[in-house]
Structure formats: C-alpha cells, structure tokens
Structure 1
Amino acid sequence: MILAMILIFVLGYVFIALEHKVRIDKAAIALVMCGLLWTVYSLLAHDAHIDSEIIEHLGDTSEILFFLIGAMTIVDLIDSHGGFNVITDHITTRDKRKLLWLLSLITFFMSAALDNMTTTIIMVMLLRRLITDNRERWIFASVIVIAANSGGAWSPIGDVTTIMLWMRGNVTAWALVRNLFLPCLVSVVIPTALALRYIGKGSVMPAPQNAGSGLPPHVGPRLQKFMLVTGVLSLLFVPVFKTLTGLPPYMGMMVSLGIMWIGTEIIYDTRRCMEDSIQNRVSKVLKHIDMPTILFFLGILMAVAALESAGILATFAQTLDTRVHEAFTIAGVTGLLSSVVDNVPLVAACMGMYPIADAATIAASADPAYMQSFVQDGIFWHLLTFCAGVGGSLLIIGSAAGVVAMGLEKINFGWYLKHISLLALAGYAAGMLVIYLEHLIFL
C-alpha cells in the first residue's frame, strides 16, 4: 500500500511539474491524484475510521480554501475599480536604476498585504508602460518575482504557505513579522543590487498612456482611492480579528468580504449607476475567481492528507530525524525543493511530518533542544516559512509569481537560470544567515 501511494504521489508530482509540456491543467492532476490516494488507502488499509479522517482533513483544508476565495475576491474587487492604479500612477522616476529599486521595494511591501501572484501581475503590467526593451524588462520582471516571493514570506497573509502555517497555529502573526522581516528584506536587497549590473545607466521612455484608461465611466479617482484603502484595510483586519476574537482567520476574511460587498452595493445604489457597474459588483467578480487554482489546492492538500493518514509522512519525518536531525538543514533542503515543485504541498507535508511540539513532547524527547525547534513560533517553522517562500525564486517555475511573469513576458527558463538563479540563491543564503544570527542573539 505504502509503495503504491508513494508511486501515485510521485507520478502526480511529475505531471504537475511538467504541466506546460503535457498540456493538462495541474488542478486536474491534483484532483485525480487525491482521489487515487484515498482510494488505495481505503481499499488496502481497511481503516474503519477513514470517513472521519477525511472529514477532519477536509475541514482543515476548507479553512484555507475559504480564506483564499475571500482574499482573491477582495483583490479582484480592488483591481476592477482601478485601485492599484493609484500606486502605479505615482511612480514618476525615469532613472533605470532608481526605478529597479523602487519597483522592487514596492513589490516587497505590496505582496505582504496582497498575494504574490496578483502583485506580480500588477507590477509586470506596469513594466510594459515603462520599459520598451524586452530583455531589459526581463531583468525587472525577474527582480519583481524575487521581491514578491520574499515579501509574501514575512506576512501571515502574504502567501498561501504563510496562511497555512498561521491558520494551523504553527506561527503567530506578530512573531512571524518580527523574526522574518529583516531576513526577507535582505533576500531582496542583495539580488536587486546584483541585478543593477545587467541594466545600463540612463532613463526609460515616458509612459505612453494613462493607466486609468479603459475603466467604466462611474469609476473616478475618488472611487479608485476608496476601494484601494478599503480593500487593503479589509485584508489587514484579518490578523487583528483573529487576535481579538480567537476565531479562525477565514472567519475574519468572510467578515471583511461581507463588509466590502455591502459597501459597494450601497455606493452603486446611491449613485444609481446600475448598468455600467454590474461588472464591478462582487456578485460579478466572484464569477471570475480562479477556480482551477482553488481546486488545485483542494486536490494537493487532500493528497498530502492521505499520505499523513497512511503514516507515510511520519515515517519520513522519523528518517529525517535519524539521518539529518538538524532544523536548518531540513528547512534549507525544503526551500531548494520548492524551486522545483510547488511550495504548497511541501509545506503541507512538513506540517504533517512535524506536529507542533508541546511541553509533554519536549519532556519525553531524547533531544529536548531539537524538539524545541518545533514549538509554536519555533525556529523550524520560521525557517520553513522563509525557505519555502524565498526558495521558489531560484527557478522561474518555482512559484506562482514566477510562472505568471514567465507567461506574461515569455521569459525563457534557461535565461532565468543563467542570469537570475545565482542572484536569488545569494539572497536566499543571506536570509538564512540572518535568521541564524537572530537565533543566536535572541536565543
């Protein structure tokens, strides 16, 4: 049974990694893989409690899915009202090197509040208005990918993996920000500084057109600013809501989405702009949610859950404990793997392999100092968050942000590997070094 489940999982992973070659959506592969794994486990394990196990895992997975649906809807609502143009229209510098630094830092902070994929889309579309040379634009787009991945790693709502770890209680919001902000910033600053050698001195061409063109007549500057501020505050409200109420983050996201929904309905009904506002209402935006991505997360998380129920992850964790037995090495290797395969299942697998250690577990362990790494907000969970997020920048296919940039700008895999991967690796290693030094200082 174990061999069959591992084989199914590995084959599924291969097809997911080669999605652009086999031309089959990774969501479809993940769903089939999930179904096959649970089928094999049901038929061969003869577990009388399998129904309750599925329901328990589905409950945990649904929390993440509902959170993502709410976050994606709010981001799309801001975008459909041109809210992000408020940011892009204020970028006035034309110096190439200053522009690279500016876009890198804007992406870094923006992706902490939004998701890295949406941030990358926004910033790459901005590049098309500023940079005319395709190869030069590849440099800018690549730095944006690095900044988006690093920016999402230090925020509890910045990336799917941080959302997973935060919602499951492996990390807390303030501790995550406090411990990872500096390492993540270093992982952006170093690649950006090194990338300056690829771009010449001088100025870029002026923007050929207004970013706000194409918006419906009822969407003016005031409404754009209102939607941007309201949307960002709604996303930032979620960790505050969890802290104040103790309820799961997805509940706060549902509250935020509901408030924005009510607010936009009131605005449009007051203005009586019914026909041209239909496309901007939440009911319409919801129809444009990226459901294949949601279904991919459902399939991959439930597939990992099947491996966990079968005891495969626990066995693998025991092997790592015996052979490696070092939190930095385990997290570092996980980060390198995240440049090849999706970081969501990798983090899900680590969460399944290493439960949060409590006082009793530490006391009963033969190595209490090692087990201390796995407590809530332990060094391992912060390392895993950093490595899984930032490690995705090492290859262009290693993250959602990279895949989006690759698709929009037609960035060549080999070109990225030759020119950008070493830059990203330098930032990755430097960030891990900062985490190590922080651990020594504040231990």
Structure 2
Amino acid sequence: MVRFLLVLLILVLPELALASGFESLKLTGTERGIYTVIIFVIAYGFVMAEEFTGMKKSKPVILAAGIIWAHAAVLATSAGVTTEALHEAFEYNLKEYAELMLFLLVAMTYINAMAERNVFEALRSWMVRKQFGYRKLFWITGIITFFLSSVADNLTSALLVGAVVLAVGSDNEKFVSVSFVNLVIAANAGGAFCPFGDITTLMVWQAGYAEFFDFFKLFIPSVVNFLVPAAFMYFAVPDEHPVASNEAAVVMKPGAIQVCVLFFLTIASAVSFKQFLHLPPFMGMMVGMSVLMLYGFRITTLYRADENNQFDIFNQVRDAEWDTLLFFFGVVFAVGGLGYIGYLELLSAAMYDGLGFTTANILVGIISAIVDNIPVMFAVLNMSLDMDLYQWLLVTLTAGVGGSMLSIGSAAGVALMGQSQHKYTFFSHLKWTPVIAAGYAASIFTHYLVNG
C-alpha cells in the first residue's frame, strides 16, 4: 500500500517529458491536472470498496472518465492544441476500447451459451456424484480451474468451479476456505499464458507486443505459480470424504457439444485473422459469433414446440458481464485522459527509468494485488516502452498472477468471497499470502530460466 501511495505522490510532481504514442500536454503540474488525479483516486476508492458499498464498479470510473476528459479538453484549449489533435488522442482510446470490448463480448456470449446449454452444470453434477475425497477434489478443482481460465475469464472459471466446491464441501468450512484460495491462484495463473484467459494478456496481444503463440512460453511459469502454493496448502486440506450425495445426473441441452466446438473454432478464427490476415482478432470473434447466431436459429427451429430447449442468442448477449465491459470503458478513458495530460510519462520515468524494466515489471504485479490489473496494464501499454519480448511476457505474467496475493487483488477473489457464505474471507486468504508470494517469485525465476 505504501508503494501505491508513492506512485500517486509521483503523479502530482512537476512534469517530466518522455515520448508517447501521441504528444501529451505535459501539464501535470497545473491545478486542473492535479484535480484529475484526485478524481481518479476517489473513483478507484469506490471500486475497491464495492464489496462493502454494493455499488457496481463501472459507475464511479465512467463518471471519472468524463470529468477527466472534460478537464483535459480545457487544458488542451488553454495550451493552444488544435481540435484535430485533441480528437486524435481521444479516438486512440476509443479504438482501444472498441476492439477489446467486441472481443470480450463475443467470449462472454459463448460462455453464457455453454452455461445455458448446461455444459458447466453437467460437469459440476458429475464431480459431485463421483464422491472424491477432499484432498483429491482440491487438486481436481484447481487443475480444472487452471485450464478453464485459459479460455474463459478468471471470474467465470472461479465461480463455476467454486459452485462445485460448495456443493461437495458445504459441511466442511476448512476445505472450502483452502480450496477457494487455490481456485483464485489457479484462475489467475491459468489466464496468464493464453490471450483468451485474461484481459491484460489480451491487451498485450492486441497491442502487437507479442504474437499469439508467444504467450504459451508462459505456460511453465504459470504452472509453477499454481503448484508452489498448492503444494503447501494441500497439507491443510482435511483427509476426509464428503457426505454421500444422491444428486441425479444433469443432462446437457441439445446442441451443447456443438456450441463448445464452435467456441474453439471461433478462437481459431480470431487467431487466423490476426496471424494470417493481419486484421484485429475481434473481427474473427465476430465471425464466430455470427455462426453461433445461425446455429442458435437452427436449434430454435428444430425445437419450436419445446420452450425449454429453444435458444435465443440475444439472451446470452444480454447476460454478458456488462458491469465489467463498462468498467473497462471507464478505465480506458480515465487512464487515457491522465496519459494525455502527461501522467503516464511521469509514471514511466519513476518506474521504468528509475528502477529498470525487470524491477518495474515485478512491481506491476505487486501493485495489481491492490489495484485492479486492468488499469495498471493499460497504463503500461500506453507508456510507449521499448521492451523486448522477454520483458513484455514478464509484465504479462506478473500483472496476471500478482492479484492472487490478496483476495481483493482479482475479480475471482472478490466474487468467491461473496459466493462462499463467509467460509472464505480476506483474512483466511491473507494467511496464505506468504506461500502465494513464494509462488509469485518462483514463477518469475522460472520465466527467467525458461525464456531468459
């Protein structure tokens, strides 16, 4: 927390000039400039307090983004900047958001479609009926979450598998608590080595700093990040069996397997658009979504008389995580506005010029345990850093897994605290922070050994 406050202090110091994607105003020392930083800090305070206030995180950051850009426009006018130059800076952020939002919307729609077809519920039912022991379930749920989060986001993966943990261990608080910590680590680690697994990884890929298959070089470091703390926590899991369950098997709805296949073909389409056609990957995702829409129409036609098996794609679009998508809008424009005023240049000078690439990138992961990794990574991407592939993969890894050190450091942790019925809390996670930090350090060292 002290380091985070030091970063904020740096933001209000007189300006330091560095090159960026577009010419910044370099007006960080002005009263209006400092005011925008205060607005951002206040808004993010509300984001961090979401668990206690109940106010969705998108609301304060969207308001902050509007206020910040209003002040940026006034500062630009007072500095004699042309309207065209102001629009260029603004539209840069709009382009960044539009590409990522459309990509994520398709991914979320597919995940919702698979959930609606009972794919995940059938998996949960199967695991409950197998009557595995708690220790075996600890590993099974962790490994499933690790790989599931490489194609779904960490929030969805943790919640889906968390439902399994609660279903089989509702009468054993210790098992639920330790398993939920394991799920948070697994979800964050699994999302780090694939562009589809985490928003920050997706941002690095779409920005062109690494190719799609480059991220798989992080697979072994991600595995280490998951296994090191899991090996310690395993001995805290009760060596017992859950109470026998008589739950009936859940049957998947018609078209469930086909929807899963279409999702993986959509991923292949996105990769192909990027790798071979040199077009933004969201276009490949939109093509995949159109195929899902057509297949959904076929399901509806075949089961017109059976309302339970009909499929409406727009219900899945409606149920996308709109709070997350709009939060991302607020973050992109708020951070982008601060960058236009000149604050990202200050941050870049303080961290990367002052500490060096490796130390700064490790610090990014530590900061992301306190602050959401999305604004942190967006800030890094907009610093116009001249880093090689090794360093871009390092910051992708640290930003992805650093949030595991605290329960509030990632969406997965926050969501599981709400789902756990008070069996998993901030402090039950905190007592495992030392071994999670050991996994964080081990993954960085493994990245050095494997990719350095």
- TM-score > 0.5, shorter chain as reference: yes
Code of the residue aligned with 1:392 in structure 2: it is G
Equivalent position to 2:106, from 66, 70, 80: 70
- Where does residue 187 of structure 1 map in the other structure? 225
1:416 maps to 2:416: no
Question: What is the TM-score of this pair, normalised by structure 2?
Answer: 0.86
Where does residue 433 of structure 1 map in the other structure?
445
- Give the Cα–Cα distance (whole angstroms) in 2 for the partners of residues 233 and 95 of structure 1: 36
Partner of 1:371: none
Q: Against the structure 1 CA distance between its residues 321 and 193, is the aligned structure 2 distance closer, same or farther, given a 3 Å change threshold?
A: closer
**Whole-angstrom distance in 1 between the partners of 2:146 and 2:177:** 18
Q: Say which of 369, 381, 395 aligns to 1:339.
A: 369
Deviates most, 42-51 or 26-35: 42-51
Answer whether contact 2:58 2:324 (CA < 8 A) is retained: yes
Q: How far apart, CA to CA, are the structure 2 residues paired with 1:108 and 1:187?
A: 11
Distance 1:51 1:274, change over 3 A: farther
Q: Which residue, out of 178, 185, 188, partners 1:139? A: 178
1:122 aligns with 2:150: no
* Counterpart selection for 1:109 from 115, 122, 147: 147
1:169 aligned partner = 208
Question: In structure 2, what is the equivalent of residue 42 of structure 1?
Answer: 73
Secondary structure (helix, strand or coil) at the match of 2:436 reads helix
- Maintained 8 Å contact 1:110/1:119: yes
Aligned amino acid, residue 311 of structure 1: G
Q: Which amino acid aligns with 1:429?
A: A
1:202-241 to 2 correspondences below 5 Å = 202-210=240-248, 212=250, 219-220=253-254, 223-241=255-273
Q: Deviations over 1:145-198 (max 9, x none)?
A: 110110000001101111111111122111111x20000000111111111121
Structure 1 runs of 4+ aligned residues shifted over 6 Å read: none
- Residues 1:210 and 1:336: Cα distance change in structure 2 (over 3 Å): farther
Counterpart residue type for residue 276 of structure 1: N
Report the counterpart of residue 303 of structure 1 in structure 2: 334
Query: In the alignment, which residue of structure 2 is the partner of 1:153?
Result: 192
CA distance in 1, matches of 2:178, 2:284: 38
Match of 2:382 in 1: 352
Superposed displacement of residue 3, structure 1: 1.8
Q: Is the 8 A contact 2:229 2:436 kept in 1?
A: yes
Check whether the contact 1:304–1:348 (CA below 8 A) recurs between aligned residues.
yes
Alignment of 1:269-308 (within 5 A): 269-273=301-305, 275-278=307-310, 280-308=311-339
> How many matched pairs?
411
Unaligned runs of 5+ in 1: 358-373
Percent identity, please.
28
Q: Deviations over 1:263-298 (max 9, x none)?
A: 1211221233463345x3202222222212111100
Q: Deviations over 1:41-64 (max 9, x none)?
A: 111232322123212210111111
Q: CA deviation at 1:129?
A: 2.3
Q: Residue type of the partner of 1:124?
A: G
1:365 paired residue number: none
Q: CA RMSD in A?
A: 1.9
| Matching residue within 191, 201, 217 for 2:239 | 201
Report the Cα distance in structure 2 between the residues aligned to 1:205 and 1:404, rounded to whole angstroms: 26
| Counterpart contact for 1:394–1:424, Cα < 8 Å | yes
- Does structure 2 conserve the Cα–Cα contact (< 8 Å) formed by 1:31 and 1:298? yes
**1:316 matches 2:347:** yes
Equivalent residue for 1:83, pick from 119, 124, 138: 119
User: What one-letter code is carried by the residue in structure 2 that aligns with 1:412?
Assistant: T
CA–CA separation in structure 1 for the residues paired with 2:433 and 2:268: 32
Answering whether residue 390 of structure 2 is matched by residue 379 of structure 1, we say yes
1:113–1:157 contact (8 Å) kept in structure 2: yes
Q: Deviations over 1:378-433 (max 9, x none)?
A: 22211111111101111111101111111100322112112x22232121111011
Indicate conservation of the 8 Å contact 2:204/2:210, yes or no: yes
In 2, Cα distance between the equivalents of 1:207 and 1:119? 24
Moved more, 300-309 or 130-139: 130-139
Q: Would the aligned equivalents of 1:84 and 1:228 in 2 still touch at CA under 8 Å?
A: no
In structure 2, runs of 5+ residues without a counterpart are: 1-31
- Name 1:243's counterpart in structure 2: 275
Amino acid at match of 1:340: I
- CA distance in structure 1 between the partners assigned to 2:306 and 2:380 by the alignment: 49
- Quote the residue 1:393 is aligned against: 404
In 2, Cα distance between equivalents of 1:211 and 1:15: 43
The CA distance in 2 between the partners of 1:75 and 1:273, in whole Å, is: 26
Distance 1:242 1:210, change over 3 A: farther
Partner SS for 1:153: coil
Change (3 A) 1:45 1:256: same
Cα deviation, 1:281-319, whole Å, max 9, x if unaligned, reads 202222222212111100011111111212210222123
Q: Residue 93 of structure 1: CA displacement? A: 5.6
